[in-house]
Amino acid sequence: MAEIQNTFIRSKMNKDLDDRLVPNGEYRDALNVSISRSEGDDVGALETILGNELYFGEDTYRTCIGLFSDTQNQVVYYFVTDYIDSSTDGISNFAPSNAYCAVVMYNSVTTLKTVLVEGQFLNFSARSPITGVNIIEDLLFWTDNRNQPRKINISRAKSLPAAQPEGFRLPSTIPTPYYTSEDQISVAKYYPWKPISLLDLYAIDRDNYPLSSTMTNPAEEFYPNGTSAKPDYDANWPGDPDYLSDKFIKLSYRFKFDDNEYSLMAPFTQACFVPKQYGYFLQGDQESSYRSTVVDFFENNVTQIIASIEFESINPLSDLRIKELEILYKESDALQVKVVESIPIQDVMRKMVSNANP
């Protein structure tokens, strides 16, 4: 008897016709199959998929509230918790300190489980399943309609905790976790809301008021009267004394995070402008201005600005995962905002320590 084979080239399920009338290339029912969505030449092909296997081991007392399968790397990411929010709407109560919440990676090839991130700050609840999960390059995104959208870098997270063999109870704590707070995993990044101060925050009086401005002119040797020498004069100052003379500028800054994301810009300062002669009319200036209608000394006398930035965190590298601080610059008659300098956060922290311990 001849053997009948169907290739299912059309990859089409046909439930309209009787079993005996389904044309070749189509099928009526299927179990454990999927239609390939690859970008190769086998796109649309009907494939047999692997069955399910229990791999929670001793952690069955916890609830899996979300799952994402990375078929390309044969890895499964699942979200577990032992907390159930008992509030009326199911989202009002925050997870208690003893609640277990974790994101775990399971490698089906090596059968190893790795805890990527865990802690109360995840605020998982069995009443808030996680259905929105996706991977973009090496970033794992998810949302549960209970917390704001989150994101972690898989490589950074799994490089610290040790992987555990299948069936091994998940550890209570990760020895050296990379993510430890909501600010580090939230898609909505922390932004600097304090503007740059143009006052020296470390030179204060007895009432904690700043004593001096950070806008100076080291290229000017004498005061406008020509008799008194200026204490901030620097004969070796390397800057251009005329660069800001005809400009009204404002300064701001922003953060660059460890995954090359940028924060919003901080509020801009007021115009960094101090007129020459400090705004005073000297001998002959008033008559000259009256005759020419031009105030000659109304140009910017500022040639150097020290940006005083007040941080809320004493360790922005570990607390917020900031890797660079960018100083921004904008001229009054320009639309674009320019980056003056990108400073590694380690240099900023060293400066913070040196200023705190002069």
Query: What are the tens digits of pLDDT across the range 254-306?
Result: 999 999 999 999 999 999 998 888 777 777 777 777 777 777 778 888 999 98
> Left, alpha or beta for 111 (phi > 0: left; psi -120 to 50: alpha)?
left
Q: Name the pTM for this structure.
A: 0.73
* Residue 163 and residue 90 share a domain: yes
CA angle 275, 280, 286 (to 5 degrees): 110
Is 308 within a domain? yes
Q: 206 in a domain, yes or no?
A: no
Whether residue 166 is found in the same domain as residue 233: no
Range of the domain at 152: 57-185
Same-domain status, 22 and 106: no
Do 33 and 74 fall within a single domain? no
> Do both 16 and 91 map to the same domain?
no
Question: Do 165 and 230 belong together in one domain?
Answer: no
**Tally of structural domains, the chain:** 3
Residue 193 domain flag = no
Does 166 fall in a domain?
yes
Q: What is the DSSP string of 225-270?
A: TSSSBPTT--TT--S-TTTTTT--EEEEEEEEETTS-BPPPPPPPS
The answer to whether residue 226 is domain-embedded is yes
Is 349 part of any domain? yes
Instruction: Label residue 338 by pLDDT band (50, 70, 90).
Output: very high
pLDDT tens for residues 62-109? 888 999 988 888 899 999 999 999 999 989 999 999 999 999 998 888
Tens of pLDDT, residues 124-153: 999 999 989 999 989 999 999 899 999 999
